[in-house]
Structure 1
């Protein structure tokens, strides 16, 4: 088995700077040694060619190391790669001390390799270097003592004291270097964490639907997300900071910020911003104050955070909650009136058998029709609960779309004439074009029948009398070459009049209908069924080719995505309680 190659050593920037400092120091030491040799020749008239050669070679090596290795410090572990650095310095100092003709002492220069090993290497390397220097100094002391040049006892004591200082210096230097490195790493981690948190905050605030502003005491906006710029009628590329009071329409908001700084408390207010060329915009504003870093300073930096909510959206959410509450109440009421309705219908049927007068028969028929209407409304209201129960246990299966749509169309068209919007009967005719013969969709067969029948009933109610006034199509949507399989779609089109804009906005909301005799639950249930299986139901005004030419009409399109997962749980509708 092949072993993985060792990872190359990568030094941190601060280590590289320290390494370059030592390289510059070695060059400086080599230059000073050459200068000392020149002064010795000039002042004392002592010429030592070998010392000149040693100093010149040492300076050349230090210059080469400075140029070649300025960006790549050696790994800190003990190894032969330290020999051209620490070993060369120790060898040069020892040769100078041994060969110099004057009483000059070069031993203090041994502190340079010890400092280099302590600051750039491990503690083992630092102590090994110090131990080598200690052995050399003790050996030199012993050799000098046997030669009779110095007092041996005093020199040994001085050497031992010097070496002990070297060991202490090596230990303290290494500990200080490690601590500085840990502090730098911690600072780097904190900087990265702060940068990451800043990015997270920016992304969250940037994509919030509510507006967020950061304003200082001078009324300058230092931060604003796109939603806030839109609410304040500001350009999307506006440069920050900008004065909030620069626009006259923002005066109420600027006054609220001033009150927040003056009171030092959080404030909440509803206001209307009136901008030129726009309708008044109702806003709900909340202000928060940041805590200053130094509370002792009266002018410490402090910002006011303003959260802006569009009152129209808040009212829309309240309306949705009210609709949900009304739906729960309606379901309860519908459930309670089913039994009385059944009793009324049965009693009316028995009574009709005993009535003979035509007027009485008409009254009985009116009772029966209205009882049936109430029963149908109750069934539609309770339909939401039934759909929810069905979705909990329903599993999608792979259905051949064209085959399934053809069967549903045949069943629906065989039901006979349908009642149109004007109250007249109209034939169930349509132009059917099924162009997805191989398409398989993830859907429940009964739920697909229910969705398609509801869409056909709605289209039949508002269509014209033309044979192609109602059209049923299937097909494949265009897809990019790299996008995989194209989505499959099913569309029900009718040439009815366009829907009003107010109707389009609430088309798929529960209990909303443009007709007084409808509960407004049909399209809502259809969309919920579609979303259960990963499909999407939408409305658009679309032109279609007919025998009369190109005619605009109302199109409801159901898109089946190829990535739909069979058997996915109905998370969306599970939250609906009826």
Structure 2
């Protein structure tokens, strides 16, 4: 048995013994007070010669007063729980036995009813102490009564028949000790079993809490009144519950959308399962998809009823339904993971294909270069130049495809966007030879940090800015790179806007398709690669057309979650 269990049980038993001893002290204090009052009334009324042996009047009064004083002192020490319980019980019980035996001796040799107090004292001792001590107390009381009776017979000419009450009372003490000990033993065994079961329940609760908190899914437990009883850390993140402790609050205050879905699910399941109890042994989770108003991610919900299986086989009946467990999954993350697996497989295939194409392409390029060294007529030179241009285009496509295959190998790191975009702006203008007057940069006065692959972010911005510069009018502020922060969704928006002719509505749906281009020299992979790299880093790339009476153009926005 673990040490913690033994310590808990020992502490519980000790506390129980102290409570019992305190009750016994109250009883003793009341009895001695009653004896003290009765003794005073007897003495003042002159009845002492008929009720108490004449030779022991003073002794009886002294014993009653002393016993009352002892009761007061013992009660004070017991309430302070000192000394130790294993010392307090023997001291008090032995003192009780001595006082009661002496009072019996002073009251006509035990012919009165004071001897019954011994039965109560030994019964109390049996409930508080161990069994062997209970029998010891009974033996001590019996020896005391027999010695007192022998003293009376020896010095006051008593008869042998006078031993009968003492013997019967002794047998009563032993019987009481044994019965009380048996009862106390069963009580202690029950308390021990209850403590073990209680500890098992606590351990099981800790294990369940550990499992739920380590789960990748969010878990939300509600009672039949839709009051939240428990939720794990993943549910906090997915539902945005970090602001305060929502346990004990109604579900509608946390998420009206989930509350409505749960209500609809209950109405539907109670209706469909009411007449088919044999089919609810493994109830369907019935997944529901939802996009919360406070979160940008898409969630998948699954509901499972909590029921008392001992009452009914139908967990959806009104008398049996005890609440529900709501499992919450980040569906966006699951889709991303599945997408990455597919991309990894596709990447290996395209890498092999690109490698096989590059070998003959290199041979064609080398042969074309050799032919260009010879003298040909202008028409032949034109054909050779067409071959060279197309070889270069195919080689660029292969480079883009290989770059696209590496998108799943992200190396995300914290990036301060203001510094990163400023460095990118300077480098891009220098490499592409863009005048600063034509390219406007707008930043915010706050350090915003995102988790992103630095190389991927550079590639995304380069593709978008190069695309914008190619289509803009190349006038003052024709191209603009801006950074915006939305407090509500905690998202950062990087916008690239140009003042070009815009994108015709008929081809807007094809912008991000691979190999779709409106230019003869384009590969059609720039925007596709930019969007795929954004998705690989948990970001989102969107297009927005600028259609107004005074301006036209295009806006590409990269949405990134803030760290």
Is TM (by shorter chain) over 0.5? Answer: yes
Structure 1's 112 and 468: CA in aligned 2 closer, same or farther, altered over 3 A? Answer: farther
Q: Distance in 1 between matches of 2:58 and 2:217?
A: 80
Q: Distance in 1 between matches of 2:308 and 2:190?
A: 32
Q: Distance in 1 between matches of 2:221 and 2:339?
A: 28
Structure 1's 221 and 521: CA in aligned 2 closer, same or farther, altered over 3 A? Answer: same
Residue 340 of structure 1 aligns with which residue?
357
1:371 CA displacement: 1.1
CA displacement, residues 209-256 of structure 1 (integer Å, 9 cap, x when unaligned): 5887777xxxx87889899xx9xx9833799xx999987x97544433
Relative to the length of structure 2, the TM-score reads 0.58
Q: Distance in 2 between matches of 1:56 and 1:158?
A: 28
* Equivalent position SS for 1:235: helix
Residue 394 of structure 2 aligns with which residue?
371
Residue 125 of structure 2 aligns with which residue?
117
The answer to whether 1:149 aligns with 2:165 is no
* Equivalent position SS for 2:111: coil
Q: Distance in 2 between matches of 1:513 and 1:185?
A: 72
Residue ranges of structure 1 left out of the alignment (5+ in a row): 1-8, 275-280, 419-424, 474-489, 501-509, 530-535, 542-551, 562-578
Q: Distance in 1 between matches of 2:159 and 2:536?
A: 103
Q: Distance in 2 between matches of 1:178 and 1:127?
A: 18
Residue 85 of structure 1 aligns with which residue?
92
Relative to the length of structure 1, the TM-score reads 0.57
* Equivalent position SS for 2:310: coil
Residue 550 of structure 2 aligns with which residue?
none
Higher helix share: 2
Q: Distance in 1 between matches of 2:331 and 2:255?
A: 27
Out of 228, 233, 255, which is 2:271 matched to? 255
1:104 CA displacement: 1.8
Structure 1's 329 and 300: CA in aligned 2 closer, same or farther, altered over 3 A? Answer: closer
Residue 303 of structure 1 aligns with which residue?
321
Q: Distance in 1 between matches of 2:418 and 2:193?
A: 69
1:375 CA displacement: 1.0
* Equivalent position SS for 1:236: helix
Residue 192 of structure 2 aligns with which residue?
182
1:343 CA displacement: 0.9
Q: Distance in 2 between matches of 1:14 and 1:180?
A: 13
CA displacement, residues 106-151 of structure 1 (integer Å, 9 cap, x when unaligned): 4442233333333224556545544543442343244345344243
Structure 1's 525 and 198: CA in aligned 2 closer, same or farther, altered over 3 A? Answer: closer
Q: Distance in 2 between matches of 1:27 and 1:340?
A: 105
Residue 381 of structure 1 aligns with which residue?
404
Q: Distance in 1 between matches of 2:422 and 2:462?
A: 13
CA displacement, residues 521-543 of structure 1 (integer Å, 9 cap, x when unaligned): 456657868xxxxxx989999xx
The answer to whether 1:462 aligns with 2:468 is yes
**Equivalences for 1:22-421 in 2 at 5 Å?**
22-30=24-32, 33=35, 37=39, 42=47, 45-46=50-51, 48=57, 50-59=59-68, 62=71, 68=76, 72-73=80-81, 77-79=85-87, 81-82=88-89, 85-101=92-108, 104-105=111-112, 106-122=114-130, 126=134, 129-147=137-155, 148-151=157-160, 161=171, 164-165=174-175, 168=178, 171-172=181-182, 174-186=184-196, 188-189=198-199, 192=202, 209=218, 235-236=252-253, 252-261=268-277, 263-268=279-284, 290=307, 292-293=309-310, 302-303=320-321, 317=334, 321-322=338-339, 324-351=341-368, 353=371, 356-357=378-379, 360-361=383-384, 363-384=386-407, 387=409, 413-417=429-433
Contact kept in structure 1, 2:109 and 2:148, CA below 8 Å: no
Q: Distance in 1 between matches of 2:421 and 2:342?
A: 36
* Equivalent position SS for 2:20: helix
Structure 1's 316 and 28: CA in aligned 2 closer, same or farther, altered over 3 A? Answer: closer
Q: Distance in 2 between matches of 1:112 and 1:378?
A: 95
Structure 1's 381 and 246: CA in aligned 2 closer, same or farther, altered over 3 A? Answer: closer
1:346 CA displacement: 3.0
Residue ranges of structure 2 left out of the alignment (5+ in a row): 1-10, 240-249, 291-297, 484-491, 504-511, 518-523, 544-553
* Equivalent position SS for 2:274: helix
Structure 1's 282 and 32: CA in aligned 2 closer, same or farther, altered over 3 A? Answer: closer
1:22 CA displacement: 1.6
Structure 1's 45 and 170: CA in aligned 2 closer, same or farther, altered over 3 A? Answer: same
Contact kept in structure 1, 2:127 and 2:181, CA below 8 Å: no
Structure 1's 471 and 266: CA in aligned 2 closer, same or farther, altered over 3 A? Answer: closer
Q: Distance in 2 between matches of 1:467 and 1:297?
A: 69
Contact kept in structure 1, 2:98 and 2:144, CA below 8 Å: no
Contact kept in structure 2, 1:257 and 1:304, CA below 8 Å: no
Structure 1's 540 and 343: CA in aligned 2 closer, same or farther, altered over 3 A? Answer: closer
Structure 1's 18 and 136: CA in aligned 2 closer, same or farther, altered over 3 A? Answer: same
Structure 1's 224 and 519: CA in aligned 2 closer, same or farther, altered over 3 A? Answer: farther
Contact kept in structure 1, 2:277 and 2:313, CA below 8 Å: no
Q: Distance in 2 between matches of 1:165 and 1:234?
A: 61
Q: Distance in 1 between matches of 2:314 and 2:456?
A: 70
Contact kept in structure 2, 1:335 and 1:382, CA below 8 Å: no
Q: Distance in 2 between matches of 1:333 and 1:315?
A: 26
